[in-house]
Structure 1
Amino acid sequence: MIDSQKQEAAAGSTAYQSKGDLTVNNGATPDQMAEIIGAIAKQLSYFTAEARSIAEDRCQQLRQEILEEMSKPEFSDRSQAFRDPDFQFVLSSALNEFARKGDSDLKKELVSLLLERAKTDSSSRIGLVLNQSIQTTPKLTIEDKSVLVALFVIKSVSITATSVQPIYHRYQTMLSGSVNLLNGGVASFEYLQSIGCININLVADHFPLDDHFHRRYGSLFPKKTIPAPPVPNQNHPLTHDMPASPQEVWEGFLSNVPALRTLSAVWQEAFYRHSAPTAVGKAIAHGILIGQDKIDAPLEVFLS
C-alpha cells in the first residue's frame, strides 16, 4: 500500500513531496537559505561554546565556595544533605541560576541559603520556604533586595541589649548597604508581591517609625525627672520619673543611626509602611544579611 502524498502549494511557494505536506517559501533560494542557516549556526556555535565556558567557570566558583564553607567545623554536620534528592534539586537550581548571572553578591546569597537548607529537613516548612527562596533570589534586582532587607530589618528584627548604644550599631550595620538604593517608586513592591516575597495591605496601620522604635526600645532610654503636682502640707517638693516619649526615642535613633535618617526620607512614600515580608521574603533577606556577616540569629527565629 502506498501512502497518499497530496501536494498543496499556495501562491508564491514551491511544494516538495514527502510523507506529508512540506512547503518552502520562495523568498530565498535553497542555496541562500543554506548560507543564512550556516551563518546563524556558526554564530550560535561560537557563542554557545563561549557561554558554556563562562557557565562552567561560574559553576566552579559556586561549587568552590560551597565546599569551602562546608569544610568549616560548624557546617560539617550538613554534608548528609548532599545525598538528599530534594537538596540536590535546589542545588542544581542554584548552579543553573548562578551560571546565568555570575554576580558575586548572588553567590554569597545562594551559599548562605544552601547552607541553611542543608541543615533543614526536606519536608519541613522551613525547608520548603528555603527551596522557594533559593529559586527566587536570582530573580531579584539589587533594588528589590534592598527593599526586602529594609522591610525585614525594621519589621522583623528585634535586638536584645542592656543599653541602646549596641542597638544603634546593629541597625547601622544591617541597613547601611541597602538604604541608599531605596526610592519612592512602587515597582519593586509590586514585583516583590507578585513573586511572593511581600504582602501589601493598604488599609493596615501606617506603621509610624517613632511608635515602633519606642515600643521596642523605649525602656532603654533614661527617664526624665519632672516636678509632681504640689501636695498640701508637704514640705519637700515632689518629683516623678517620666519615660522617654516616642518622639524622643526616634530622635535618638535618627541622631545615632545615619542609615535610619536615609530610610525615614522615603518611608512615607510608596508602600514601605504597608508592606511586610512573607516567609520567603524573610528567608531571602536573612540570607543576604548572613552572606554579609551582618546578622547571626538563625532563620528559624524569624519563621517560628
Structure 2
Amino acid sequence: MMGGQKATASDGALIVQSSGDTIVNVSNVDMRAVIEAMADQLPKFAAVASEIVEKRLSAFEEKIIKRFEQSETSSIQAFADPDFQYLLGRAQHAYARSGDELTADVLIDLIAHRSIQTERTRLTLSLNDAVERSAYLTPNEFAELSLAFLLRYTKRTDITNFEKLVIYLRDNAGRIVPEVSRSESSYNYIAAQSCGSIQITRASLMDILTKSYGGVLSLGTDRERFAETLGDDFPKLYPDVVGPCLHDQSKLQAMAIDKSSLESFLKQRGLEGKTGQIWDLHSQSFMQEQQFIEKALPLYPEVRELFAVWNDTQMHRLTLTSVGQAIGFANLKRLCGVEADLGIWID
C-alpha cells in the first residue's frame, strides 16, 4: 500500500488504488442488474403515485362541482359538449400532475368561463388554449400575466378621485406584486408559452395611468393659459368642461376622466373639434412618477414597490396574447374577485 495505507474488502469486492485516473468498467451484466433492481421498485412507486392522483382528482372534482353551483357564471349544459369534455379531461390531467392549488383555482375559473361559450369563437378557442398553458406556469408567470392585464387592459369606470385610484391599485395590484419575478427568464418563458410577447419599446406606468385616469392626476393649470387657448369667455362657452382642479382649487383642469370621455362630453354640447386643444393643455399638468408616489404613500405604503416592479423588470415591455389575457383575468379574479365579461377583451 502507498503511504502505508491499508484497505480491506468483503468477499466479492474489488479494491482499486491508483496514483492517477482510474477507470472501472461496468459490464452489461452489472448494468442489467442495476436496472432490474430499480425496476423492482416501480410497482411500489406506481401504487403511491396512483393514490396521490386519486386524491388530487377527487379534490379537483369537488372544486368543479362547487364552482358550477354558481349557475350565473357557469353552465352545466356544457358537460354534454365533446369539446368541453376534452378540455375538462386536459384540466384534470394538468392538476393530477402538479397538485398545485393555485393552478387548480385558475383552471376551474377558465373551465367555468368556457362552459358558457356555446359557439366556436376566438374566445372559446383562447380559453381552450389557456387551460392547456396554465399547467406549465409558475406563480410568477400567473402574477405577471395578471398585473399586465390589470394595468394595460382594464379600466375602472367608477374612479372619480385620486384616493379611489390609489385604493384600487393597492387592493388589486398590491396583491399581485409580491409574486412578480425579477428574473428576465420568467418573461421569456411567458413568450415561449405563447401567452405574451416582449416589445422593443417600453410603456411607462404613469403614461398608462394618465391615459385611463388623467382626470384625477392633474395638478392644475392657470386660468390664463386656458383663456389663451379658448378665449376669455371660455367658462360660458364650455360650461362644466373646465373646472377647479381636484388637487389645487386655485387652478383649473378638464372635467373628464380621460380624453375619450371629454370628446363625448363635448360632442353632446356641439363643441366637436376642441377636444385636442383642451386635453393637450390639461395633460401638461399631469403628475410625474415621483409626485404620484409621494401623494399615494399615505394610502398605499408599498406603492414604490409597484413602480419598481414595473420599471426594473420586463413588465414594462410585456404585452399579452388572448391566451395570456384569459389566464391573467382568471388569476386576477381568484386574487381580487374581479367580475367581468372576458369577451370585452377577446371577441
TM range (shorter): 0.7 to 0.9
Q: Could you report, residue by residue, the CA deviation over 1:242-299 in whole angstroms, capped at 9, with x for unpaired residues?
A: 4552328734456543454212113223422222111111100111112234311121
Q: Is 1:120–2:161 an aligned residue pair?
A: no
Q: Is 1:138–2:158 an aligned residue pair?
A: no
Decide whether the 8 Å contact of 2:177 with 2:309 is kept in 1.
no
CA distance in 1, matches of 2:213, 2:297: 14
CA distance in 2, matches of 1:162, 1:155: 16
Relative to 1, partners in 2 of residues 1:148 and 1:116: Cα closer, same or farther, differing over 3 Å? Answer: same
> Which residue of structure 2 aligns with residue 149 of structure 1?
146
Q: Could you report, residue by residue, the CA deviation over 1:7-43 in whole angstroms, capped at 9, with x for unpaired residues?
A: xxxxxxxxxxxxxxxxxx97218xx94x655533331
Match of 1:51 among 49, 52, 63: 49
Decide whether the 8 Å contact of 1:213 with 1:246 is kept in 2.
no
Displacement after TM superposition at 1:60 (Å): 0.7
Taking the TM superposition and a 5 Å limit, the aligned residue runs for 1:264-283 are 264-283=307-326
> Which residue of structure 1 aligns with residue 331 of structure 2?
288
**Residue aligned with 1:272, SS:** helix
CA distance in 1, matches of 2:77, 2:198: 38
Decide whether the 8 Å contact of 2:60 with 2:104 is kept in 1.
yes
> Which residue of structure 1 aligns with residue 345 of structure 2?
302
**Residue aligned with 1:199, SS:** strand
Match of 2:286 among 245, 268, 273: 245
CA distance in 1, matches of 2:91, 2:334: 15
Larger relative contact order (Cα-Cα within 8 Å, sequence gap ≥ 6): 2
Percentage of matched positions with identical amino acids: 25
Match of 2:216 among 216, 220, 223: 220
Displacement after TM superposition at 1:150 (Å): 1.5
CA distance in 2, matches of 1:182, 1:216: 23
Structure 1 unpaired stretches of 5+: 1-24, 232-238
CA distance in 1, matches of 2:298, 2:209: 14
Q: Is 1:86–2:83 an aligned residue pair?
A: yes
Pairwise CA RMSD: 2.8
Residue identity in the other structure for 2:314? F
Decide whether the 8 Å contact of 1:129 with 1:283 is kept in 2.
yes
Relative to 1, partners in 2 of residues 1:151 and 1:293: Cα closer, same or farther, differing over 3 Å? Answer: closer
> Which residue of structure 2 aligns with residue 12 of structure 1?
none
CA distance in 1, matches of 2:308, 2:185: 18
Relative to 1, partners in 2 of residues 1:254 and 1:194: Cα closer, same or farther, differing over 3 Å? Answer: farther
Normalization by structure 2: what TM-score? 0.69
**Residue aligned with 1:297, SS:** coil
Relative to 1, partners in 2 of residues 1:153 and 1:258: Cα closer, same or farther, differing over 3 Å? Answer: farther
Decide whether the 8 Å contact of 1:153 with 1:175 is kept in 2.
yes
CA distance in 2, matches of 1:36, 1:70: 50
Decide whether the 8 Å contact of 2:107 with 2:131 is kept in 1.
yes
Q: Could you report, residue by residue, the CA deviation over 1:154-204 in whole angstroms, capped at 9, with x for unpaired residues?
A: 1111111152333322222222232123344210111111111112221x3
Normalization by structure 1: what TM-score? 0.78
Decide whether the 8 Å contact of 1:113 with 1:130 is kept in 2.
yes
Q: Where has structure 1 moved over 6 Å in runs of 4 or more?
A: none
Residue identity in the other structure for 1:106? T
Relative to 1, partners in 2 of residues 1:298 and 1:110: Cα closer, same or farther, differing over 3 Å? Answer: same
**Residue aligned with 2:197, SS:** strand
Structure 2 unpaired stretches of 5+: 1-25, 228-249, 254-281
